[in-house]
Amino acid sequence: VRRQKPLSLSLSLCTPTSIPLGLLTLLPALSPTRTMFTTADLWEPPRLERNADGTATEIVSAAWNFHKYISYSTADGRSKILSYGPPPGSLDEFCFRAQIVNYTQYRALLEAWGSRMWTKYTGLLIWKTANPWTGLRGQLYDWYLNQTGGFYGAKACCAEMVHIQSNPAAQNALQVVNRLPVAVSGCVAEVETVCCPGNARNTQSWALGDLEPLQTTTVGHKIAAEAGDSVTFAKLRLRRGAETLSRNVYWLSGKGGGDFSALAQWGEAKVGISAKISPGTAASTFVARLENLAQTVAFFVELKVAKGSAARTARDLLAPAFLSDNYVTLFPEEALDIMIDLSEAAAELGAAEGASLLVEGWNVSPFSVPLRPNNPLASEDEVA
């Protein structure tokens, strides 16, 4: 299946139990991609040129073709990589944009199925979740056991038994998917938006009736982007009292057509992080608290666990590392707790005295926080 728009995924119909479905591009993240090539001169990513009609010309090296790279362009020739600005100037930038596209596409794929679950079909099979070799396609986690943005896009949808989402096939109407066998009551749907640049903020909320079991409920309210050369971030939250049942963040183009080039105009948002060992669990399990100290959105923040203070290749990472969430977007002054489970990499963790948590994002400068065995990973005032 070629790269598609979220709207087309929402409009798709299938059989009651779908034939295997997937989005084959799924380039790995930066460090694993570097590791696949024997010399640095082979790292050069595909060269993209934007044509006058909005399509893109892509020049791919023999090395990338050998590793089965598939273009991030739609069937009509429009590059999803170029949706986020001018042609990437480095492998780092190309791989990071690829993770954004991986995330949004797999979330859209699974949310589209959730919107019609129990009415049009009963389930789907994803092909494929892993690659049998060091390839540049078709993987939610790569040959080196590192998850892609697609993995966390799927997880954002499927890990919640009650999930709030937007349906682009219904003008971004809000929906709640209840996968539980019992009704859920007393919930409030909340939508907070931040328009960038400018950081204009708005919050609305609506009390919901009973959410019937094994059913998708359309709330009726819609989210919309502010028109113009801007991007509107919308944080959807389903809460019951103080408890958050579901959290979901979208970014919508003010120009329409998936044009997010306005994101390139941002200044950097500083993200503070505090993390400490989870109480009552093994020594190889941690909680990392990410906190956005800025008055703008911290977009697409990635976490990696490395053997040292940097990770140039996959061999520098502790793997497998299981995170409760990743590639997160934090709203102004928002904090999130991320569970990090390194139990399957405990031997490497014990041998890596300088192990660190690496943090970077679209508008977040890279920084690292050292892992200190049997002590807080970082003090409360340790901020990038």
Rounded to whole angstroms, how far apart are CA atoms 354 and 33? Answer: 23
Handedness of CA 235, 287, 110, 34 (dihedral sign): positive
- Work out the average pLDDT over 77-105: 95
Closest residue by Cα to residue 35 from 99, 87, 91, 81:
91
CA 75 to chain centre: 23
pLDDT per position as a tens digit, 17-76:
555 666 777 899 999 999 999 888 898 999 999 999 999 999 999 999 999 999 999 989
- Work out the average pLDDT over 169-194: 95
- Residue spans of beta strands (DSSP E) within the chain: 47-50, 56-59, 162-167, 173-178, 188-196, 200-207, 215-222, 231-240, 243-253, 271-277, 285-292, 298-306, 322-323, 328-330, 335-341, 356-361, 364-370
Cis amide bond preceding 279, omega within 30: no
Check residue 38 and give its pLDDT.
84
- Asked whether residue 158 carries a pLDDT value surpassing 80, the answer given is yes
Task: List beta partners, residue 291.
Answer: 272, 335
Check residue 268 and give its pLDDT.
57
Helix (H), strand (E), coil (C) string for 186-234:
CCEEEEEEEEECCCEEEEEEEECCCECCCEEEEEEEECCCCCCCCEEEE
Q: 269 pLDDT band (50/70/90 cuts)? A: low
- Work out the average pLDDT over 141-164: 95
Burial label, 173 (beta-carbon count in 10 A; 0-12, 13-18, 19+): middle
Least confident piece of the model among 154-163, 168-177, 374-383: 374-383
- Work out the average pLDDT over 289-308: 91
Check residue 380 and give its pLDDT.
38
pLDDT per position as a tens digit, 216-235:
999 989 999 998 889 999 99
- Asked whether residue 376 carries a pLDDT value surpassing 60, the answer given is no
pLDDT per position as a tens digit, 326-346:
999 999 999 999 999 998 998
Closest residue by Cα to residue 170 from 223, 211, 210:
223
- Work out the average pLDDT over 183-196: 96
Helix (H), strand (E), coil (C) string for 243-269:
EEEEEEEEEEECCCCCCCHHHHHCCCC
Check residue 256 and give its pLDDT.
83
The label of the residue with tokens 């049998």 reads 132
Phi then psi for residue 120, to 5 deg, are: -105, -25
Better-predicted residue by pLDDT, 220 or 205: 205
Q: Write down the mean pLDDT value for the chain.
A: 87
- Please give the DSSP secondary-structure letter assigned to residue 44: P
Q: 248 pLDDT band (50/70/90 cuts)? A: very high
